[in-house]
Structure formats: structure tokens, C-alpha cells
Amino acid sequence: MRKEINSLKEQKNAIILAHNYQVAEVQDIADFTGDSLELARKAATLDNDVIVFCGVDFMAETAAILSPDKAVLLPAAEANCPMADMISAGELRVLKERFPDAAVVCYVNTTAEVKAESDICCTSSNAVKVVESLDEDRIIFVPDKNLGSYVSRFSDKEILPWEGFCFVHDRITPQDVKEARNLHPEAEVLVHPECRAEVIDLADGVYSTSGMIRHVCSSPGKEFIIGTEIGILHRMKKECPQKTCYPLSSQAICTNMKKTDLNKVYNSLKDLTPQVVVPEEIADRARKAIIRMLEVR
């Protein structure tokens, strides 16, 4: 299967991008694996005709918005992010009317329609920098309440959060942290900013998915407890084999991220479906918010 995929990739001048939560076989066939920001940056600079996006819908949509002249494929068409569907463009418009002086920051985990209503996007790795880059003192922050609350620790701006959350991270509890620390007392606890504030309070470090991998590889520590989706452990094992990483919760599984397999990647490349297409009028407005984010360094 791997051989077939590689030969189709050459024939079609395609590249395979995968998120850090993808299953091991998909990460291993990918040309590039990363967090949401890295994948968006990569998608913005490619000269391939076809991008096979192994992740969830909002990630492929972001790639399609940034590369309107390319075919962006989402091999598992049904792979969505439930948090992205927790706010609609209509609900955001109502908020904007209520707080006309506020800037709108949307997590990249949103629909293209919500991005089109926003001033700027952010990801887990740049949310604080994005908020601080704005002139406005009041920020409508959608949809993740946990990321919003994390950002407010580092900013004097008034953050007006939406009530969205990621069911994978939000169900990690302080008790999980205590139990993991009891089992591995020497290990550093790293968590994703989509976790609840009371979990973040107990952690040693808070990082995006790729930020965690970089920290594990570069830190002198030997053992780590990883508070995010467990697919990330594959890259950690591969890239830092001398370190030992334990999942903070073995229940931290994003079923949508697990919908892509080699078979779907193969079929998708063979037939050039399912293709993600964002209507031009929405894409043009959403692109402004994404590009503004990419310009924040």
C-alpha cells in the first residue's frame, strides 16, 4: 500500500500533510507532520498540484483557503472537529453586534464561515501573541473557553470567551494529573492549552502539540506525562527514542483524527476525492484572518 501511495503521489504531484494526532501508519507515510500552525504555514508555501490533508475538516479547509488553485483532499470526508461546530457565523455576528468595539479572534478550529467573520485566527501555539498583536483592549475569543482562559493569564486585555470546548481535552481532570504523578514521580507534566484551567494549574508546561515534541526532545528531563491526544506519542517515540512519554489519560482519543487510514489515503489519491472546496466569497474573507495570523511572528 505504501508503494502504491508513493507512486500515485509522484504521478499526481501530490504532497501528504498529517496532523500530530494521526494514526502511526498515516504519520509514517506523510511528507510533513505538524501542529495546526505548522500545517497552515506549510500549506501556504507548497507548489504541488494536490494536497492530501490527513487531519480534520477545518485543517483541510484552511489549506484550501490558502491554496485556492490546488486540489485539497480530505481522505476521511467525515472527519470533523466537534469544537469547530460549537459556534456558527450567525452566533458570532450577534456577539459582534453586542460588542462592536471588540476585535474577534477565532481559534483555527472553526468553520470557514466563522473565520470569514473574524479579524484574525490563532492556533494553540500563537494565541497569546495574536491577542497581544491587536490594538483593541476587548477581544471576542471563539470558540474554545479553555484556550481563552489560558490566554487571559498572559494578557491584560478583556477576553470575552465563547463556551466551546474540546471533548478530548476538557475531560482530563486534576485527578488524572495526581494519579499520573503518583505513578511517575520523576516525570514532567506537559498539557495542551485546550485543557481546563485546573489541569493547567497542575502542569509543568503548556504547549501546542509540536511544542510538546520540541520540549521533550530538547529538555534534559527523561520522563514526561503527556496531556493531549495520544496519537502524538508516536512522533515522540520516533523523534526522541531516548525519552519515555506516558499518556496523562489513555482516554484522550480524538475519534475524528483516527478516521484516516492508508486505504483512505490511497483511494483519495487515486480518485482525487473527497475534495474540500470553500466558496470563493467565504474563502476570500477567511483568508484575510488566516494571513493576518501568519504575519504575527
**Annotation: binding site for iminosuccinate:** 19, 36, 107-109, 124, 192-194, 209
CA distance 52 to 183: 40
CB of 168 to ligand SF4, least distance (A): 4
CB of 133 to ligand 13P, least distance (A): 18
Residue 82 binding partner per list ligand 13P, ligand SF4, none, with a CB distance cut-off of 5 to 8 Å that depends on partner kind: ligand SF4
CB of 111 to ligand SF4, least distance (A): 12
- Characterize the bridge pairing of strands 138-142 and 223-227: unpaired
Element of type H or E holding 212: helix 209-218
Q: Under a CB-based contact definition with an 8 Å cutoff, are residues 164 and 83 in contact?
A: yes
Residue 62 binding partner per list ligand SF4, ligand 13P, none, with a CB distance cut-off of 5 to 8 Å that depends on partner kind: none
Provide the residue type at 81 as one letter.
C
Residue 36 binding partner per list ligand 13P, ligand SF4, none, with a CB distance cut-off of 5 to 8 Å that depends on partner kind: ligand 13P
Residues 143-182: x where in contact with ligand SF4 by CB under 6 A, - otherwise, as a string = -----------------------x-x--------------
Q: At what angle do helices 209-218 and 232-239 cross, to 10 degrees?
A: 30
Q: Which three cell numbers stand for residue 100?
A: 462592536
**Size of the residue set binding ligand SF4 (CB under 6 A):** 12
Among 29, 40, 51, 83, binds ligand SF4 (CB under 6 A): 83
CB of 79 to ligand SF4, least distance (A): 8
Among 229, 248, 264, 276, binds ligand SF4 (CB under 6 A): 229
CA distance 200 to 169: 11
Residue 278 binding partner per list ligand SF4, ligand 13P, none, with a CB distance cut-off of 5 to 8 Å that depends on partner kind: none
Which has the closest alpha carbon to 103: 52, 144, 142? 142
Nearer to ligand 13P, 36 or 62 (CB): 36
Place of cell 507548497: 46
Q: What angle do CA 140, 116, 164 make, to 5 degrees?
A: 45
- Is residue 18 at the binding interface for ligand SF4, with CB under 6 A as the rule? no
Q: Which residues of 240-263 are buried (b: 16+ CB within 10 A; e: fewer)?
A: beebbbebbbeebebebbbbbbbe
Which positions from 244 through 263 interact with ligand SF4, judged by CB under 6 A? 254, 256-257
Residue 256 binding partner per list ligand 13P, ligand SF4, none, with a CB distance cut-off of 5 to 8 Å that depends on partner kind: ligand SF4
Q: Under a CB-based contact definition with an 8 Å cutoff, are residues 138 and 157 in contact?
A: yes
CA distance 125 to 274: 29
Using CB under 6 A, list all residues that contact ligand 13P: 20, 35-36, 109, 123-124, 166, 194, 208-209
